[in-house]
């Protein structure tokens, strides 16, 4: 069993920055994948970024590439999402998620993730 606890949400002006953190506890594996998804009201859950624990490879949605950075602290079993140059369209509830045994483009499919954080609201007013 894995538990994920998110922190770092808030309200920032357009062009500003924010960092989200997601700490995992419980049993984990070297092959774990952790990702970030977001969901705005009335919209589908959307892939944001993912990182592979073993390969330390990253993947980003086109909408955030160049602005967001996903990273990890292996000792703390924590993944971060550094969000720069925020736009109003980034406003959403951001969820971290974890799973294992997936790779490549599979990391973008939210239905393949087993564990989820509680969500963190990110608001960027226009």
The predicted structure's pLDDT at residue 58 = 94
* Chain centroid to CA 42: 20
Phi-psi region of 35 (alpha: psi -120 to 50; beta: other; left: phi over 0): beta
Q: How many CA atoms lie within 13 A of 107 on its CB side?
A: 21
**For 60-89, what is the mean pLDDT?**
95
Q: What is the pLDDT of residues 34-52, one digit of tens each?
A: 999 999 999 999 999 999 8
User: pLDDT: is 105 or 53 the higher one?
Assistant: 105
Residues whose CB falls within 8 Å of the CB of residue 44, separated by 6 or more in sequence, listed in order: none
């Amino acid at each position: 069993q894995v538990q994920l606890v998110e922190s770092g949400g808030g309200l920032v002006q357009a062009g500003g920055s924010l960092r989200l953190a997601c700490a995992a506890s419980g049993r984990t594996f070297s092959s774990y994948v952790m990702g970030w998804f977001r969901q705005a009201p009335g919209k589908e859950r959307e892939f944001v970024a993912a990182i592979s624990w073993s390969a330390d490879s990253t993947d980003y949605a086109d909408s955030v590439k160049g602005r967001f950075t996903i990273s990890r602290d292996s000792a703390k079993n924590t993944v971060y999402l550094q969000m720069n140059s925020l736009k109003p369209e980034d406003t959403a509830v951001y969820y971290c998620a974890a799973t294992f045994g997936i790779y490549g483009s599979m990391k973008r499919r939210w239905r393949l993730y087993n564990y989820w954080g509680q969500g963190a609201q990110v608001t960027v007013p226009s």
